[in-house]
Amino acid sequence: MKLSTISLSISALLFSINSYSQTLEESLAQTLNNNPEIKAAFSDFKIKDEEIGIRTGHYLPSINVNGKMGYTDDNENNYDYNPAEVSVTLDQLIWDGNITYNDIQRSKQEAEAERFNLASRVNDISLKVSQAYLNVIYANESLQLAQQNLKSIKEIYNNIHKRVTAGISSNTDETQADSRLARAQANVLAAQADLQDKSSQFYTLVGQMPSDLVTPEVDQSLLPSSLDKMIKQAKENNPTIMMAQHDIEASKYKHKITKGNFLPELSVHAGQTWGTDVSAPGNDVDEASVMLQLKYNIYNGGSDAAKARQAAYDMMKSKDIYANAIRQLETGSKLSWTAYNLNANQKGLLEDHVIAAEKTLSAYKKQWQIGQRTLLDVLNTENEVYQAKLEYSQAKHREIEAKYRILNATGELLKATRVNVDPAWNKSVL
């Protein structure tokens, strides 16, 4: 009953919805399709993805064809000839201390980390768009409330002015009313400036100005039921955490690569050569060879050992980054959860405040008509109703924003807004 009362009292003050309304889902889709930061992150992911193919190619044979021909004039033996030679060589790696295998796995983990980095960018930008979207709605509502308040204050001011002119009220009443009117006019100007500012921020993110925005409905089924469940879900699904985990795995394989430098490399070399007049007229060549090659570095100036130590520190760094990400996630989750509950509770109390203020205003107007209240009493109550509605609107939108912050932390924001993304963004490379 309370909610319906509030809706009826405020609905006339909210901006109207035309035949076309710009939804949050449309704004997000527009942003994700055109945002240059997201496009750059996707390119970073594809760069790492293609590196997997580069590393995998080391497992396959390398085949080369070489050919040469020319003219030779042998003045000493008094003859000339045209030597020609063609050779085909094949080199195949058999074992290199698992360097290639570990390098491929490192590349896969780095590519997967970049994929989650892309998801993290998408997740965070989607939250910014959601916040900007809600900010425009709140700024628009604030302007409508300020304009309605100004209209009411003007009506009361005109009545007071008439009473002062008629000698019924004192000049002090008009001075006080004039002060309230100036404040109401200033509130409208401030609300207009704030709406322009919030609209510009929206344009920067989305690429178009806001038009007839609709207050979004958050899918409650995707919200965790407790802070503990929120943190648990965030640790499992948050893309920043997933990126940090794959960075750790990549650093482990990088460390394993350095160990391969202390092991021998085994490969096969095969070749076939055909030639005519090689080195001398009539000296034709038709040779084939197959060789098993072993390469084992005995000493490399200590650089291999230094690389191993460097990789170990890199692995420790990755683990520290992950630990810090977990700490930030837990802190952010607690703040979001607290804000969600605080605004949800405040909204109910502020709802009561609006209802009480409106009842008081209605009673004061009736009492003024029978001489029990002054117009200044009515004017002050009008301001109280305005402030109550403004605070209720703010709490309402902050509660929605807190919900989106929770969904951002748990990695469910895009799912909640039902925005489809490029399938390549969600396809694992592992």
Domain holding 335, by residue range, is 2-60+98-264+302-426
Position 283 in a domain: no
Give dist(CA 357, CA 387) in Å, integer.
10
pLDDT at 17 over 60: no
pLDDT at 16 over 50: no
| Mean pLDDT rounded to a whole number for the chain | 90
Position 75 in a domain: no
Q: What number is the average pLDDT over the span 167-188?
A: 84
- pLDDT tens for 216-260 read 999 999 999 999 999 999 999 999 999 999 999 999 999 999 999
Position 230 in a domain: yes
**CATH number of the domain within which 250 lies:** 1.20.1600.10
Q: What is the pTM of this model?
A: 0.84
Phi and psi at residue 80, to the nearest 5°:
-130, 160
pLDDT number for residue 9: 43
pLDDT at 188 over 90: yes
State the first-to-last Cα distance of the chain, in angstroms, to the nearest integer. 54
pLDDT number for residue 165: 77
Position 203 in a domain: yes
8 A C-beta contact, residue 196 and residue 204 = no
- pLDDT tens for 300-323 read 999 999 999 999 999 999 999 999
Maximum Cα–Cα distance across the chain: 137
- Burial of 384: CB neighbours in 10 Å, binned 0-12, 13-18, 19+: middle
- pLDDT tens for 343-389 read 999 999 999 999 999 999 889 888 877 777 778 888 889 999 999 99
8 A C-beta contact, residue 386 and residue 353 = no
Question: What residues does 275 pair with on adjacent strands?
Answer: 85, 285
Position 93 in a domain: no
Confidence of residue 3 (pLDDT cuts 50, 70, 90): very low
- pLDDT tens for 257-279 read 999 999 999 999 999 999 887 77
Position 282 in a domain: no
Position 79 in a domain: no
Confidence of residue 193 (pLDDT cuts 50, 70, 90): very high
Q: What number is the average pLDDT over the span 96-110?
A: 97
pLDDT number for residue 169: 64
> How many distinct structural domains can be found in the chain?
1
Give dist(CA 126, CA 335) in Å, integer.
19
Give dist(CA 386, CA 111) in Å, integer.
54
Position 84 in a domain: no
Q: Is 407 helix (H, G, I), strand (E, B) or coil?
A: helix
